[in-house]
Amino acid sequence: MFTLASLSEDGKRNYIGCSAKAPSDPFLSHTYLQIPACVNEDIFRSYCRRNYSAYSKHLLGAFMMGECSDEEFQYLCRFRNLSSDAELKAFEQFCLSHSSVKIQDWCKQKIMHTWLWPSLIKSFSKIPLEDWDLNCADTNLNEGSHLQTNQATGTSLTLLEAIEMARVLDERKAEELELAKKLCLLPNRHNTDEHRYMNNGSWAVACLQKTVTHKAKEKTLSDIDAQLLTLRAEIKSLTQHKQGIKKGTV
């Protein structure tokens, strides 16, 4: 079996996805033993190829930068540009003869698991070149969908639970696409029961706020009208008193 569990920045273990930003030992943050027979190797190679950006940035930079010179580090980072068996052999020889034990172990791991080089180097991959070029070399699209996926499937799941939750989500999305194709209408992502309940609740709150504001306004106007009536009565009384003074009746 293989494991992609690693320590994230907050020290927790991630079983779905991986992070190597703060592992206790960067070299041991990803352990590959063997691919189970039930796993399609081509699919797994595609997964590794799509996650190369994080692999190169974190794994290589985390423990190789201090183990070699800048020129050697740049050479190591360009291993994906190898295009022939001779170049690969020369690269392996460079790593195995290097003074750094970590670099030697890093290369030995790739040699031991023969599927790793084809997963990362285009010229050795069995993936059609057109598919390789069309697929993104990073996981930006996947990263952007994490929030929506987490809301739909939940978090802190085991591998089996995550696969089952993803299966249910995929089936629901497939049904939505089939229905949209049948009705020739695009699905409205704000038309679920949850969204309708939320919209109805928001509408009720807005109506209540409007009613409260309207009643407060009416009360203020009523108080002003009452004050005006009182003032008019006082003005009338004072006017009469003034006229009485002028006529000498007061």
* Predicted confidence (pLDDT) per residue in 170-200, tens digit: 998 899 889 888 988 877 767 777 888 888 8
Integer CA distances (angstroms), 232 to 76, 98, 164, 236, 238, in order = 93, 102, 78, 6, 10
Which uninterrupted H or E stretch holds 6? Answer: strand 6-7
Task: Give one DSSP letter per residue of 102-138, joined into a string.
Answer: HHHHHHHHHHHSTTHHHHH-GGG--S-HHHHHHS-SS
Classify strands 31-32 and 13-14 as parallel, antiparallel or unpaired.
unpaired
- Residues 12-26 have pLDDT tens digits of 444 334 433 434 443
Q: Which residue, among 169, 150, 148, has the nearest Cα to 14 in the 3D structure?
A: 150
Domain spans of the chain, in order of start = 2-144, 154-187, 191-250
- Residues 212-229 have pLDDT tens digits of 999 999 999 999 999 999
Q: Mean pLDDT over residues 42-66, rounded? A: 55
Integer CA distances (angstroms), 194 to 28, 75, 145, 216, in order = 43, 53, 20, 33
Res 56: pLDDT: 53
pLDDT above 90 (res 136): no
Instruction: Give the predicted TM-score (pTM) of the model.
Output: 0.41
- Residues 77-114 have pLDDT tens digits of 888 889 999 999 999 999 999 988 888 998 999 999 98
pLDDT above 70 (res 204): yes
pLDDT above 90 (res 76): no
* Torsion, CA 152, CA 12, CA 16, CA 111, rounded to 10: 170
Computed over every residue of the chain, the mean pLDDT equals: 76
**For a pLDDT cut of 90, what percent of the chain falls above it?**
27
Res 232: pLDDT: 92
Res 65: pLDDT: 65
